Amino acid sequence: MDLQTTIYIIVGLSFALYIGIAIWARAGSTSEFYAAGGSVHPVMNGMATAADWMSAASFISMAGLIANMGYGGGLFLMGWTGGYVLLAMLLAPYLRKFGKFTVPQFIGDRFYSKSAGVVAVICLLVASLTYIIGQMTGVGVAFARFLGVSSEVGIYVGMGIVFLYAVFGGMKGITYTQVAQYIVLILAYTIPAIFISLQLTGVFLPQIGLGSTLTGTDTYLLQRLDQVVTELGFGKYTTTTAGSTLNMFVYTLSLMIGTAGLPHVIMRFFTVPSVKDARSSAGWALVFIAILYTTAPAVAAMAKYNLHATVNTAVKAGGDLYAPEASIKYDERPDWMKRWEKTGLLKFKDANGDGRIQYYNDKTKNEDAKKKAEAAGWKGNELDVNADIIVLANPEIALLPNWVIGLVAAGGLAAALSTAAGLLMAISAAISHDLVKNVFMPDISEKGELMAGKIAMAVSILVAGYLGLNPPGFAAGTVALAFGIAASSLFPAIMMGIFSKKMNKEGAMAGMLAGLFVTLFYVFAHKGLFFIKGTEYLGLIGGANSFFGITPEAFGAVGALVNFIVAFIVDKMTAEPPEHIQHMVESVRIPRGSKLVDGAH
């Protein structure tokens, strides 16, 4: 059976499974639509949370970022994993105990103000819509390569699949679909990694293979990779950092607290029966997430090595990497390169007219590498490889069986679709429950609210599709911005709502707006959305990364600090919260059963 047919069968079966589950798990009430009736088993919820959490950015982009950045890419692992621990320990149990369906509802009730809830909805929509761009982009990338269609058509198909199981099933349908998607994506991620680890090192577990020697040699994989990339002008793989130490620290912190503030992940903890189950499901989710996250560094390093070995025969054979015969002829390039060229995510330009592929860093500060490239007659890097294709192309680069490549296609789509569904659920609940029900139409019937939720979901899918068709950057880039927005706006408000009984509504609202504004301003100022003197971009605040070298994606932690400072200043200048609100906050923090505070509407 040829590769394309195999891919169609495996992806088609996975889609049939998702739709079948959605039909079986149709939501018949608002409780089932928003919180799956609060009856999901902790292990099942842990698996669904892991699928919700491990988005296209985790499955498709993260290993690509680590492959490109080397050691510095570890900040994504530290930030996202650390943030999940923060969420599980400090926020999820208390929010579950409060008993609300959504984050804006918690903020609105805790800060005794519908206006505070509306501000939270605005923050949620900005963060979630930014996040969903990466998921829809990931769907387009996966479809473009594996189903032989354009990324635009891929996004349309993805929208249709999500519509079928999210609109009709709500959180109940999404939850059980995400359990199936987790199984698909984790098999799709680990099986190729095991194959490639065995190929390169002879070690079954990729996590151990990463630190092992290459098969038949005494040279360690990472040692050889360091030699190859530094000779070709790239930074040393095992020591390169993401900018300054300060930027790496702030970036990691931004991802951590952004994780804890993401509403679509928090909503998962409202689907279990009790506070105890919320804690338990958080632990299970961490186990399920760890399987992928501990594999990612091995996938990144092995993919980087295999990519170089594909276009430069001296990588495996030894010898001069700049020798004319070391770089392969373009006409003799492997089939996987031809397939990925069609997507536009891998590009070749013959700069020196020799018909061979020269893949190196032509902007290097390494004088030795520059001299060798000039002596070999190289006129610049000729291969452009999009970071998003590293995981998806990895099995093809390693010449793995067709069924493994098909499984990776299904896994990439499962990762993107599962998180897209969770985000759409958060957006739908914010609009239908927090705006329509709690602000504009408090007397709406349950049936009417359920219909409003489904309409909001359908409209959200259309908006998400549009943003996926017109994305501002590749998947993990836009996702990082979403974490920054959640970190600067929602996380401080949730923290203060739980742990500061004296924080009032004026402080919370002022903090959220200040954090959101300063973060968006910094991002826009550095992304070229403000122009001076015609088309010449000068920057509003002194050029790129001028604020102590902090990149826009890392600025969320600074925005969170602004949020806290503004909130406490305004709080000191205004009246304390009512006595009953302070008592409610104290009771939420008492470690007893979930019935102490009944947040049921």
**Range with lowest mean pLDDT among 323-337, 400-414, 544-558:** 544-558
Cα-trace Rg, the chain: 25
Instruction: Provide the whole-model pTM.
Output: 0.80
Residue 571 has pLDDT above 50, yes or no: yes
> Comparing 516 with 599, which gets the higher pLDDT?
516
Q: How would residue 545 be classed by pLDDT, with cut points 50, 70 and 90?
A: very low
| Higher pLDDT, residue 177 or 544 | 177
pLDDT of residue 35: 57
Domains of the chain listed by start with CATH number: 3-302+397-596 (1.20.1730.10)
Report pLDDT for 533.
36
Task: For 186-239, give the DSSP string.
Answer: HHHHHHHHHHHHHHHHS-SSHHHHTTSBPTTSSSBHHHHHHHHHHHTTPPPTTT
pLDDT in tens, 89-111: 788 788 877 776 678 888 988 99
- Summarize the confidence of residues 197-219 as an average pLDDT: 93
Q: Percent of the chain having pLDDT more than 90? A: 25
> What is the pLDDT at residue 101?
66
Judge contact between 387 and 67, C-beta under 8 A.
yes
Binned at pLDDT 50, 70 and 90, residue 593 comes out as very low
| Residues 6 or more apart whose Cβ sits within 8 Å of residue 221 | 200, 201, 209, 210, 211, 212, 213, 214, 301, 302, 305
Tell me the average pLDDT across 160-174. 72
The per-residue pLDDT for 322 is 92
pLDDT at 265 over 80: no
pLDDT level of residue 38 (50, 70, 90 thresholds):
low
Of 519, 450, 446, nearest to 486 (Cα)? 519
Tens-place pLDDT, residues 315-363: 988 889 998 889 999 999 988 888 888 877 789 999 888 999 999 998 8
Range of weakest confidence among 504-508, 534-538, 549-553, 568-572 = 534-538
Of 149-153, 157-161, 321-325, 528-532, the poorest mean pLDDT is in 528-532
pLDDT at 59: 78
* pLDDT at residue 395, rounded to an integer: 86
pLDDT of residue 278: 79
- CA angle in degrees (0–180, nearest 5) for 430-433-436: 100
**Of 277, 242, 254, 281, nearest in space to 53 by CA:** 281
How many residues appear in the chain? 601
pLDDT at 28: 60
pLDDT score, position 601: 41
pLDDT band (50, 70, 90) for residue 161: confident
Q: What is the pLDDT of residues 360-406, one digit of tens each?
A: 998 888 888 899 998 988 988 999 988 777 777 888 888 888 888 88
Distance CA 80, CA 581 (A): 32
pLDDT of residue 82: 86
pLDDT at 30 over 60: yes
pLDDT reported for residue 594: 44
Residue 347: strand pairing partners = 384
User: How far, in Å, CA of 327 to CA of 161, rounded?
Assistant: 43
Q: Residue range 130-156: average pLDDT?
A: 75
- Provide mean pLDDT across the span 57-70: 80
Output the DSSP codes for 316-369.
HH-S-TTSTTTBPBGGG--HHHHHHHTTTSEEE--SSSSSB---S-TT---HHH
Lowest mean pLDDT among 165-179, 299-313, 355-369, 563-577: 165-179
Residue 119 amino acid letter = V
Q: Each residue of 268-315: pLDDT tens digit?
A: 777 788 778 877 888 888 899 889 889 999 999 999 999 999 999 999
Q: Between 127 and 530, name the one with better pLDDT.
A: 127
pLDDT, averaged across the chain: 82
Nearest 5°: the CA angle 48, 53, 55 is: 110
pLDDT of 96:
79
- The letter for the amino acid at 503 is M
pLDDT reading at 473 higher than 60 = no
Least confident window among 171-185, 499-513, 553-567: 171-185
Structural contact between residues 188 and 181, judged by C-beta atoms closer than 8 angstroms? no
Per-residue pLDDT for 542 more than 80?
Answer: no
Of the candidate ranges 157-161, 249-253, 404-408, the one whose mean pLDDT is the lowest: 157-161
The yes-or-no verdict on residue 56 having pLDDT over 80 is: no
Per-residue pLDDT, averaged over 540-550, amounts to 56
